[in-house]
Amino acid sequence: MLTLSTTDTATTTTTPRTDLMPELLHAWAVAPAAIGTCCLAADRSRVRMPELIASVLMALAMLDAAFTHRLAPVYWTALLIAGAIGIAALRTSRRARKQPRVEMLSFAGSGIHTTLGMIVMAALMLGMSHGAAAATTTALTSAAVHHHGLGAGSMTVALVGGAAVYSAVSFVLAARQRGWLVRAEYATMGATTSLMAVALII
């Protein structure tokens, strides 16, 4: 008597990786970040140490997250947020006594853009994180969010929405600046956050 095997071979088939494009976008985002850092360092007329430190820190965080993986994204997130707070405090304490009121407004605008950039970058890196440690963090975060009636999709929408707003502001600021180094600095920051936001939703 002929018997047929009922072994389900469909379950043993391997599916191709679907996370290749987000990884590529994350890697491509390193390029504008590095270009922006170089432009800031080369602009001797307006280079300031707090912005340079922030730019280097963001570039290193993205480089490590995309290629070397020396630190988990959650640690880079903590470093970026701590750096944003420290740089904002340093700028306020050192410049409030030395700048005229009109100059302070422009100076504060640049400082706010840099500080928010670090925070947006930290949030996007945490959202794009993967691996064992990141999976644990994501599971705990998702459990807490669902407990309060929110979904993981809401978190993604919030992250992408914040990045989109920041990118749009960066491109507007780039268009209003004088000098290609200054424009490149703002534009590359907008491009970096845009690429990371797209990678988050793919």
Q: What is the band of 77 on the pLDDT scale with cuts at 50, 70, 90?
A: very high
Kindly state the percentage of the chain with pLDDT values over 90.
Answer: 30
- CB distance 197 to 159 below 8 Å: yes
pTM for the predicted model, two decimal places = 0.73
To 5 degrees, how large is the angle CA 150–CA 195–CA 80?
70
Give the Cα separation of 169 and 173 in Å (integer): 6
The pLDDT assigned to 41 comes to: 87
The pLDDT assigned to 79 comes to: 93
Q: What is the band of 122 on the pLDDT scale with cuts at 50, 70, 90?
A: very high
The pLDDT assigned to 129 comes to: 66
Count Cβ atoms below 10 Å from residue 35 Cβ, excluding itself: 17
Please tell me which residue, 15 or 89, carries the higher pLDDT value. 89
pLDDT of 24 above 60:
yes
Q: Tokens for 112, please give them.
A: 């706010």
pLDDT of 161 above 60:
yes
CA 167 to chain centre: 11
pLDDT of 59 above 60:
yes
- CB distance 73 to 129 below 8 Å: yes
Lowest mean pLDDT among 4-8, 122-126, 149-153, 161-165: 4-8
The pLDDT assigned to 95 comes to: 58
